[in-house]
């Protein structure tokens, strides 16, 4: 067996065997197959696709390229959540403490933001002192004791995905259904939970721009997880506007704190209640979505959800004063973006908002770019709302970097309509 023959076979549109896929993944992880051959393999896969069976073998080969975490010593039901990546997506910061406050074990390994999308780790690090590196034993201990831990992926887990994702990022091979499915599911299976909930974003700020592709991706991931004995839920959600109002690290943490205190944006709150209620059903705590939502809302009202977030921040070395007093977060200078015309807002391009925020310094252009936690964008109006020309559409928080360019770009994110427009957040659920 050799890499060239496998690349040629995929290039010609033929299905690969389990052994051939393992040969490529193991060889690449060990450094025996060079980047240029893996790049060709990824590009051939991008154009020729994979069967569901190939994608399953690819996922398993990637999973087995590193350590698989054993959470079995934690008593209770263990859950994990992943988003395919969006703009303003601070869902994990709300969902994790919310369900953990009900005794469900939330053991999460998160990623950093890249390009126009943000990452949970960067948001958490906006809280002074918050430590996202922990060894696995301490991670398990923390989940056991306080039901929740959120850390960065350790080096030993899914070694293949680390190398492959970095290579996909620079070879134009990220938006491929089998490559995204195997990348996400290999990491999630390695993390060892009982149930996995996936938020599959659809729209301008997402890898999947249309519902049909997103459904294919969701069904594929659900089938891979089910085959590995996990309780799987994929919720397809709208990314044709940012989630909530805030985009940018400190701004998003503030919005998450407000949401845990019952004062969050409607869409973010709705998403957390939807995802949370499925996890509660999986854990056997409730029988229906309605029952789940009622229980979760009660945890917000009685202060247990925010109390769990405080516990998480304290356990990981963060300064909890920031959670009690969000006004402590440093924010950049404010500039208001005004509406150029009157009408119903029909579209706020998430990709463009994320890009503007990245230019201000909230995100990374390359993996080693420095982040400015204090900058970003806060929308004043969401899709469906009426705006008069000259009214404030959004506030830009900046420290001088690319301010004018970000303003211009942000302005181009808006579309208007004379007629009222409908907005739908939850597009479909695959369970």
Site residues, ligand URA (CB under 6 A): 84-85, 165, 174, 179-180, 183-184, 207
Nearest-approach distance from CB 155 to ligand URA, in angstroms: 16
**Among the options 90, 116, 159, 168, which is catalytic?**
168
SS3 94: helix
89 is catalytic: no
Nearest-approach distance from CB 187 to ligand URA, in angstroms: 6
Question: Burial, 13: exposed, middle or buried (Cβ in 10 Å; 0-12, 13-18, 19+)?
Answer: exposed
SS3 341: coil
SS3 413: coil
**Among the options 10, 57, 78, 82, which is catalytic?**
82
- For ligand URA, which is the closer residue by CB, 220 or 379? 220
187 is catalytic: yes
- Distance, in Å, from the CA atom of 350 to the CA atom of 335, rounded to the nearest integer, reads 19
- For ligand URA, which is the closer residue by CB, 181 or 312? 181
The per-residue b/e assignment along 374-403, b for 16 or more CB within 10 angstroms, e otherwise, is bbbbbbebbbeeebeeeeebbbbbbeeebb
364 is catalytic: no
**Among the options 92, 101, 182, 183, which is catalytic?**
183
- Strand partners for 430: 234
Nearest-approach distance from CB 183 to ligand URA, in angstroms: 4
Name the residue whose CB lies closest to ligand URA: 183
Structure tokens of 339? 């509406």
- For ligand URA, which is the closer residue by CB, 62 or 339? 62
82 is catalytic: yes
Tell how far CA 139 is from the center of its chain. 20
SS3 273: helix
**Among the options 187, 188, 230, 364, which is catalytic?**
187
Nearest-approach distance from CB 352 to ligand URA, in angstroms: 20
**Among the options 161, 194, 199, 349, which is catalytic?**
161
Structure tokens of 103? 């005794």
Tell how far CA 203 is from the center of its chain. 14
Instruction: Please report the beta strands in 355-425, taking only residues with DSSP state E, as ranges in sequence order.
Output: 376-379, 386-387, 392-398, 414-417
Nearest-approach distance from CB 294 to ligand URA, in angstroms: 32
- For ligand URA, which is the closer residue by CB, 183 or 249? 183
57 is catalytic: no
- For ligand URA, which is the closer residue by CB, 80 or 311? 80
Residues carrying an active site annotation: 82, 161, 168, 183, 187
């Amino acid at each position: 067996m050799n890499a060239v023959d496998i690349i040629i076979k995929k290039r010609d549109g033929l299905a690969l065997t389990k052994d051939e896929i393992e040969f490529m993944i193991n060889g690449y992880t060990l450094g025996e197959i060079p980047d240029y051959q893996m790049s060709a393999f990824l590009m051939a896969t991008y154009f020729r696709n994979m069967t569901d069976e190939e994608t399953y073998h690819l996922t398993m080969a990637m999973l087995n390229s590193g350590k698989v975490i054993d959470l079995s010593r934690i008593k209770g039901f263990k859950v994990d959540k992943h988003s395919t990546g969006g703009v303003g997506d601070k869902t994990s910061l709300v969902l994790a403490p919310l369900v953990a406050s009900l005794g469900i074990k939330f053991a999460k390994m998160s990623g950093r933001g890249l390009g126009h999308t943000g990452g949970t780790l960067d948001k958490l690090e906006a809280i002074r002192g918050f430590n996202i590196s922990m060894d696995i034993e301490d991670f398990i201990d923390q989940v056991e004791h306080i039901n929740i831990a959120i850390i960065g992926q350790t080096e030993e887990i899914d070694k293949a995905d680390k190398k492959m994702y970095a290579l996909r990022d620079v070879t134009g091979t990220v938006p491929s259904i089998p490559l995204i499915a195997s990348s996400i599911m290999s990491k999630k299976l390695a993390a060892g939970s009982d149930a996995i909930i996936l938020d599959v974003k659809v729209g301008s700020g997402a890898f999947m721009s249309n519902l049909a592709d997103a459904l294919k991706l969701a069904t594929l991931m659900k089938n891979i997880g089910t085959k590995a004995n996990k309780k799987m839920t994929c919720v397809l959600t709208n990314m044709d506007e940012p989630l909530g109002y805030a985009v940018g690290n400190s701004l998003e943490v503030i919005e998450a704190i407000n949401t845990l205190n019952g004062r969050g944006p409607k869409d973010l709150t709705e998403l957390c209640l939807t995802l949370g209620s499925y996890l509660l059903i999986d854990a056997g705590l409730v029988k229906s979505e309605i029952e789940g939502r009622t229980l979760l809302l009660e945890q917000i009202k009685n202060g247990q959800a925010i109390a769990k977030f405080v516990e998480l921040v304290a356990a990981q070395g963060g300064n909890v004063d920031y959670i009690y007093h969000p006004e402590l977060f440093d924010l950049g200078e404010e500039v208001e973006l005004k509406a150029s015309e009157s009408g119903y807002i029909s579209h706020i391009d998430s990709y463009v908002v994320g890009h503007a925020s990245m230019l201000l310094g909230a995100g990374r252009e390359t993996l080693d770019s420095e982040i400015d936690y204090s900058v970003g964008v806060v929308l004043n109006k969401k899709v469906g709302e009426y705006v008069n020309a000259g009214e404030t559409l959004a506030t830009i928080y900046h420290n001088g970097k690319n301010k004018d360019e970000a303003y211009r770009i942000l302005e181009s994110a808006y579309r208007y309509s004379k007629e009222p427009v409908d907005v739908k957040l939850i597009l479909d659920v695959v369970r």
